[in-house]
Structure 1
Amino acid sequence: MRTAADTRFLLNETLALFSRLQTVRSFSLSTPMVLAAAVSAPAQAAINAHLAHVAFDLRRKLQAFITWLRSAESYRLSAAETQARYVLLKLRFNNLLDQVDIFADVLGQRSEHNTGTWVAGLDVLAEDALALPGQYYTPPPLICYLERGHGAAIRRSRTRLPGGDLSPVGVIQIPRERMIGSGIASSLIHEVGHQGSELLDLTTTIRQDIEQVIASGTREGALPWQLLSRWLNEILSDCWAVGHLGITATYGLLSVVSLPSYFVFRIGTDGPHPFPWIRLKISLALGQALFPHPQWAALGQQWEDLYPLDNLGADKRDLIRRLEAVLPIFVRLVLGHRSGTLRGGRVADIFPVAERGPEQLRALYVTWQQHPYLREHAAPSLVFAVVGQAKADGRISTQDEVQLLSHMLAHWALDRARNYCVAA
């Protein structure tokens, strides 16, 4: 039985919820920033449309609940049953606020001096790395933001938000400590690789190839392949970075995984990430296969000098050697993989390999030094690849690298803002 007091309480709570819902406004009205720092027009439109849809649906449900609560029919339910209906609406409202907060973290940062335009420039870099020339898919909008912490992360487009709704955009978190240097592109494009690999369903189809290798081999030889299969999602994202950036990606990864030896050799068999020592070796193997050059072997030797295997136990050394032994075959399998989503092409073919070998990057660096304006017409990922190669070669100082990339990030942000203004 529900009393009049119960009904009055629930009605007041629902009306209060309805009033609070009215305060959820479009980000177009609540996020001041310079135009160059704004997210892309498609991203802004997708976010606003998504939140407006969720808010409209909740508003409709609240109005229906209020109408029902005032009707005689509602008294068939007890106070507890009516409260249960109200609580579901309240939870949905909290889901909406959680979604607003996710996007507010991204958009609110755009009002920070310099940071806003730099992050907008990273948006452009991310979208460049996702827009493959073969038009294998329709790339979703991507937006970036900086966060404390050591690692990057992505909330992929069309994955679940709080409440079960699909995210209209990909949201990439970049560690603030990496601003600004060529290594930031390694972290960013690794996360873009998660989105791209998912759109192409590469993890599923390549894992099927690995399962065939395991089935055709011996039980003793299965473990390295089983581990590589478990780590495949992260490996493909590293491959995405190497395919766009060359050795810049591997140097960026080296910076991330330069940790105390205990963690570098901490071999977990149940997580998605390769342990750091072998992860860098995989990146090197991918780089050598895509862009053959002695620099990969030199960096590999440097890595072994920094983290020698001498003090490891025999079992751990044995597993590492077994993994290293299958890497050439594994890399050929990944880069040579063909699938329906690739229209019969190879994984290696989706990356701009022809223009990003070390000699091409070095030649571009010389040309751009003589004609700097040409740099501003190049793809953002190519600019980072050229600068990173120059840094690896010792041809650009850290200070000059920071100044150059800061300028380019602001340039890309401003150029995008101008283009959207013209389009509008």
Structure 2
Amino acid sequence: MRHQLARQVAHWRAATVALGDLEAFAAPAAWAGVEHYLSRELRRHLTGVVAALRARGDHLAAQVASGSGEDLATVQRELVAYRRRYLQVETVLEFFGDAVNHRATPRLGALLRGLDMLAADSLLPVLGPLGHAAPPVLTYVDKGLGASILRARVRLWDGGSLSPAAAIKVTRHNLLRPTALIHETGHQVAHLTGWNAELAGVLRAVAGPAGSPASLAWSSWASEVAADVHAFALVGYGAVAALHDVVAGERESVYRILPGDPHPAAWLRVLFNVELCRLWFGAGPWDELGAAWVATHPLERGTPELRVVARDTLPRLSALAAACTRRPMRSFDGRALAALADPTRVSPTELERLAARAGDSLWTSTHLQRHESLRILAWTSLRAALDLADAPRVAARFEDWLLRAGDGPATLPSI
């Protein structure tokens, strides 16, 4: 028994040593494509995770060498646990390695560094005034319709360590219309401030009568509502139009309410986001988007569950939008979200003023890149939504701007 245990332990210890070679998970060129401060923190974290696993393997080997029969039975159980932990650590390394490896291509690496900058900038309006440290951000590209985030400071699959960075997936189809990036950083903001739990209570009180299906549904959707509102406040109508395009799928998915799903029913989600625009910007192109949405997806074709929730929600959409943006929150030290991230700064009128005032320097000024990056994203996403003829030109200018931003010097996150 001792020999068989020793053989297995030797195998898994050797495999653990191999995990320490981070270039086996992402090419050196890809690691070089990560901003220095983020690369340092990520490498330090991953190396530490592997070191802890190696120490556990060393202890197990010592137990095999010195243990008696009864002790070896215990070692057998610990070996199974060690193997399980190895696979968990391997999953962490594969995840971050895959994310980093997208940067091996110079052009894509520069685009992703530009997206890192946008994501980091979007954390500051809320977290900065509240005194929360903004975590590093690592963006990567993957297939699919929707973006996603592995939040910083949440427990990873290795069973103990906390994620050293917010890892955000951006989809290929929205690489040059990355408003979903700001939705995902909204999840990070809500996590660090405790906004989700507080907003759930607000939505429960505003969405419908106490205990009603609408009240309970909107409360359960708080985390996604928070992220939508964060994106709207920082990017404006462009985020709403992009969200519409992602959720405008098959009829069943538009009307569906799934128990336990934190995403609002798409039918209501689009109308809520349209209401945010109406509340802050007045009449505008979002009205046509909302009307077309309802005409394409009539409520009477919806599921019974959706119709029940919609019956109470529709008259309260304006109140919901106001509660999310104008109501003082303990999470924000008694301030409303709009006091930290003012949606009027990304109204079409204000974005037009910014573009007219800046002229071509909108795309070339380092000062504007550092101080108006989110409004430049808001402007380009607005043009993509409103001017189909000019959208390709604006997208090309934005791509060049993003590449230049990604080729610039690293900027440390504010702490």
Q: TM-score, normalised by structure 1?
A: 0.87
TM-superposed CA distance for 1:79, in Å, is 4.4
Residue 207 (structure 1) aligns with: 200
1:352–1:315 distance in 2 versus 1, CA, 3 Å? closer
Tell me, yes or no, if the aligned pair for 2:207 and 2:218 is still in contact at 8 Å.
Answer: no
TM-superposed CA distance for 1:211, in Å, is 4.4
Residue 230 (structure 2) aligns with: 240
Residue 399 (structure 2) aligns with: 406
The 5-angstrom pairing of residues 244-259 of structure 1 reads: 244-259=234-249
Equivalent position SS for 1:138: coil
Tell me, yes or no, if the aligned pair for 1:18 and 1:62 is still in contact at 8 Å.
Answer: yes
Q: Which runs of 5+ in 1 are unaligned?
A: 1-5
Equivalent position SS for 2:164: coil
Residue 57 (structure 2) aligns with: 62
* Paired residue type of 2:174: R
TM-superposed CA distance for 1:122, in Å, is 1.1
Equivalent position SS for 1:14: helix
The 5-angstrom pairing of residues 30-109 of structure 1 reads: 31-33=27-29, 38-71=33-66, 74-77=67-70, 79-109=72-102
The 5-angstrom pairing of residues 133-282 of structure 1 reads: 133-164=128-159, 165-180=161-176, 182=177, 184-185=178-179, 187-212=180-205, 217=209, 222-282=212-272
Equivalent position SS for 2:19: coil
Among 109, 122, 126, the alignment partner of 2:115 is: 122
The CA distance in 1 between the partners of 2:308 and 2:17, in whole Å, is 63
Equivalent position SS for 1:23: helix
Residue 346 (structure 1) aligns with: 336
Please identify the structure whose Cα radius of gyration is greater. Answer: 1
Residue 111 (structure 1) aligns with: 104
Tell me, yes or no, if the aligned pair for 1:206 and 1:337 is still in contact at 8 Å.
Answer: no
The CA distance in 2 between the partners of 1:381 and 1:407, in whole Å, is 16
The CA distance in 2 between the partners of 1:102 and 1:313, in whole Å, is 38
Which deviates more from structure 2 when the two are superposed, residues 299-308 or residues 124-133?
299-308
The CA distance in 2 between the partners of 1:27 and 1:79, in whole Å, is 33
1:395–1:151 distance in 2 versus 1, CA, 3 Å? closer
1:250–1:201 distance in 2 versus 1, CA, 3 Å? same
The CA distance in 2 between the partners of 1:168 and 1:378, in whole Å, is 26
TM-superposed CA distance for 1:347, in Å, is 1.8
Q: Which runs of 5+ in 2 are unaligned?
A: none
1:270–1:12 distance in 2 versus 1, CA, 3 Å? closer
* Paired residue type of 1:139: A
* Paired residue type of 1:251: A
Tell me, yes or no, if the aligned pair for 1:362 and 1:389 is still in contact at 8 Å.
Answer: no
The CA distance in 2 between the partners of 1:130 and 1:364, in whole Å, is 22
The CA distance in 2 between the partners of 1:162 and 1:249, in whole Å, is 31
TM-superposed CA distance for 1:250, in Å, is 0.5
Residue 292 (structure 1) aligns with: 282
TM-superposed CA distance for 1:396, in Å, is 6.2
The CA distance in 2 between the partners of 1:319 and 1:90, in whole Å, is 48
TM-superposed CA distance for 1:370, in Å, is 4.3
The CA distance in 2 between the partners of 1:214 and 1:291, in whole Å, is 22
Size of the aligned set, in residue pairs, is: 405
The CA distance in 2 between the partners of 1:49 and 1:161, in whole Å, is 15
1:135–1:65 distance in 2 versus 1, CA, 3 Å? same
Equivalent position SS for 1:114: helix
Identity of aligned residues (%): 22
The CA distance in 2 between the partners of 1:208 and 1:324, in whole Å, is 19
TM-superposed CA distance for 1:313, in Å, is 7.2
Residue 291 (structure 2) aligns with: 301
1:315–1:146 distance in 2 versus 1, CA, 3 Å? closer
TM-superposed CA distance for 1:54, in Å, is 1.6
1:50-85 CA-partner distances (Å, limit 9, x unpaired):
1122222222222222223222xx105264432112
Across the aligned residues of Structure 1 and Structure 2, the Cα RMSD in angstroms comes to 2.6
1:359-409 CA-partner distances (Å, limit 9, x unpaired):
110112223334343454543221110112233332862321331121122
* Paired residue type of 1:96: V
